[in-house]
A and B are shown apart, each in its own frame.
Chain A
Amino acid sequence: MGLTGLAIFKELPKKNCGECGVPTCLAFAMALAAGKATLETCPYVTEAAKEALGSASAPPIKLVKVGAGDSKVVELGDETVMFRHDKTFYHPTGIAFEVEDTLDEAALTEKIAQINDLEFDRVGLHYTVDMVAIKNASGNADTFAGAVKKVAEASKLALVLMSDDSAAMEKALETVTARKPLIYAATTDNFEAMTALAKKYEAPLAVKGANLDELEDVVNKVVALGHKDLVLDPGSRKTVDVLADLTQLRRMTIKKKFRPFGYPVMAFTTETDPMDEAMQAQVYISKYASMIVLKTVEKQFVMPILSWRQNIYTDPQKPIQVESKIYEVGAVNENSPVYITTNFSLSYYSVEGEVEASKIPSYIIPIDTDGTSVLTAWAAGKFGGDKIAEVMKSLGIEQKVSHRNVVIPGYVAVIAAKLKEDSGWNVMVGPREAAGISPFARANFS
């Protein structure tokens, strides 16, 4: 989306002098929007206007990286839509865990070990967490720097350094210069010192305001000092207020091209009960937080948060697929029936649900059809008897059952002969709809 004529017109001097070769500023704005003129031909356009018009072609939300060198690098921001169904969300919310520098050595070591252990494998996917946020709760610079050093040695995750005191911040930064941690935070009171540090260490800088107006003010001051790798904290902490602020920030950048807010946004959970905290985190992940800082490190609460993040940041335009392997439904044995379907998750789970409802333990083999449904895959030549025979063989289903009967979807009865020929199995044409599996199973396998 290029610049609109009106947006350009607002930035022009409105002198209608004609020196650009066009009689009015309005007509000149039209010519610019149509790409038939350049801004340079106007001798009166201000620097601010040039900046505004030049940056209008930049993406609405800047991409900011936290972490460098041998640590994890987390990409934040660079989003383009309000709703994932409009396109997709690109950069999954960075998950950080708050660690206070007042912990004694043993407790700190223990906590980092717990955070490092937050890796999960689920439904063929691998979930990891991203950052550790070290908080200067002690108020002491040396204690803070010591804690940061320990965390950096014990963990490869990206770092967030949290202190209002620029002297403590500098001391801590010196110990992890190469890791480019996120500096938290520049405020009305300390933005000059914090911005100087962020520039000196080329690190991303969090900007915090007590409200959106103050946030805008501090961002403008930091940008004026020449630093643009920013992460925003609107200052709100109650879920309902954070939700409103996150929405407002995202809307103003995408809909209104409001430059001061064109950066990734961070949110903090505040609920003390980990169950409530997980729900709070779920809201922020759903609603535009580029990173969140959590307190709980317990696996049972972190896992659903990561599952939700994975889900929300899935590209809705790509079909969701299940892994192509042998699935067991119920307590299977060598006599259990074998069903064939595709790896399109909608097809697979429809079949799985109905097989489960039939109360007859069974095997299901979803064939890898690039996540397309039965008829789509068959029409595209991805679900032929030869291919299915090949997959059955490579997965070794013949070692799992003593019989040689395989059930195929009713809509592709036409592939039965080829499948029989290539696999040597007896092919049973099942019902057309998964809903027919229960009666079919009772009739054939009871």
Chain B
Amino acid sequence: MIIIGERINGMFKDIGQAVAEKNPKPLQEWAIKQKEGGAHYLDINTGPACEDRVAGMKWMVEVVQEVSDLPLVLDSTNYDAIEASLELCKRPAMINSCPAERPKIERVFPMAVKHNAKVIGLTMNEKGIPKNAENRVALAMELVAAADEFGLPMEDLFIDPLILPVNVAQDHVPEVLEAIRQVKLLADPAPKTVLGLSNVSQKSPDRPLLNRVYLAMGAACGLDAVIADANDDALMETAASTEVLLNLSIYCDSYVKVFRTR
């Protein structure tokens, strides 16, 4: 299970303020702390308050890379900001994200191939997020076909079937699991799958419980990656245990420690 640390995001007050003031300290602290938690990637998002997204994201990428060698996930709807930041990334990055809409696919996929970057593809289009698994998978198929068309290696495409909060969109939650199952059958080699895990528990009590249980359910369906809180110890232990229970990592007594230090 690939863990993408979610914390360096302008939506969080400390990061938003740091981006506004060009203060690298909070970003760098979170970069180090998330790696210690066991994150494999770091999500980077300027947040909505940032005036100049291009300059903002470039600055974020540079200050984070000063203290961390983890690959970055460039999280923005502004593709100019992503493209400018890709130039600065020292390791192959991930683009977060591209919906199944032709103009956006044509913008994102060539850029990803050029920079050897991975792409998170969302199973949504102009009409919004489909309700059932079948329509999510149909949109995933568009993204899979696009990867083939533009020459993006299938294992570099991360399909995100878009999880919604269980308290308001409960019927979507099992549909997403089914979508993950079917996405893994679309191509050989199969595309990867990813979820913005924390969404499932928005505004619910005991969020960590919902997050980690859903992670385990997703893993059993073929979930490869999550954007989540890398400093939630119970969540990381859950991720580690799914790896041994699904025979993805060879078992040893210290499997949790191995997962976090790999």
Contacts and interface: CB of A to CB of B under 8 A. Distances in A.
Interface of A: 1-2, 4-7, 9-10, 26-27, 29-30, 33-34, 255, 257
B166 interface: no
B138 A30 contact: yes
29 contacts: A1-B188, A2-B185, A4-B185, A4-B186, A4-B187, A4-B188, A4-B190, A5-B141, A5-B144, A5-B186, A5-B187, A6-B141, A6-B148, A6-B186, A6-B187, A6-B188, A7-B188, A9-B145, A10-B148, A26-B145, A27-B141, A29-B141, A30-B137, A30-B138, A30-B141, A33-B186, A34-B182, A255-B189, A257-B188
A181 B145 CA distance: 46
**Which residue, B145, B148, B182, has most C-beta atoms of chain A within 10 A?**
B145
Contacts of A5: 141, 144, 185-187
Contacts of B187: 4-7
A26 B185 contact: no
A10 B137 CA distance: 17
**Which residue, A2, A5, A10, A27, has most C-beta atoms of chain B within 10 A?**
A5
Contacts of B144: 5-6
Nearest to B154: A6
B188 A26 contact: no
**Which residue, B137, B141, B148, has most C-beta atoms of chain A within 10 A?**
B141
B188 to A, nearest CB: 5
Nearest to B188: A4
B183 to A, nearest CB: 10
B142 interface: yes
Contacts, number: 40
Contacts of A29: 141
Contacts of A33: 185-186
Given A2-B185, A7-B188, 20 more contacts: A4-B186, A4-B187, A4-B190, A5-B144, A5-B186, A5-B187, A6-B141, A6-B148, A6-B187, A7-B187, A26-B138, A26-B141, A26-B142, A27-B138, A30-B138, A30-B141, A33-B185, A34-B182, A255-B188, A257-B188
Contacts of A255: 188-189
Interface in B188-203: 188-190
Interface string B100-137: 00000000000000000000000000000000000001
Q: For the side of the interface on B, what is the size category?
A: 10 to 19
Contacts of B186: 4-6, 33
**Which residue, A4, A26, A257, has most C-beta atoms of chain B within 10 A?**
A4
A154 to B, nearest CB: 49
Nearest to B147: A6
Contacts of A26: 138, 141-142, 145
A324 B46 CA distance: 71
A7 B145 CA distance: 10
A26 B142 CA distance: 7
Nearest to A6: B187
Contacts of B145: 6, 9, 26
Nearest to A36: B134
A27 B187 CA distance: 14
Nearest to B142: A26
Interface in B140-181: 141-142, 144-145, 148
Nearest to B186: A5
A254 B138 CA distance: 27
A126 B188 CA distance: 41
A7 B137 CA distance: 15
B127 to A, nearest CB: 14
Contacts of A4: 185-188, 190
Contacts of B137: 30
Contacts of A2: 185
Contacts of B188: 1, 4, 6-7, 255, 257
Nearest to B137: A30
A101 B109 CA distance: 62
4 nearest interchain CB pairs?
Answer: A6-B187, A5-B186, A4-B187, A4-B188
B203 to A, nearest CB: 34
A257 B137 CA distance: 24
A34 B181 CA distance: 12
Contacts of B182: 34
A285 B124 CA distance: 50
A7 B186 CA distance: 8
A237 B166 CA distance: 62
A255 B185 CA distance: 14
Contacts of B185: 2, 4-5, 33
Interface string B77-119: 0000000000000000000000000000000000000000000
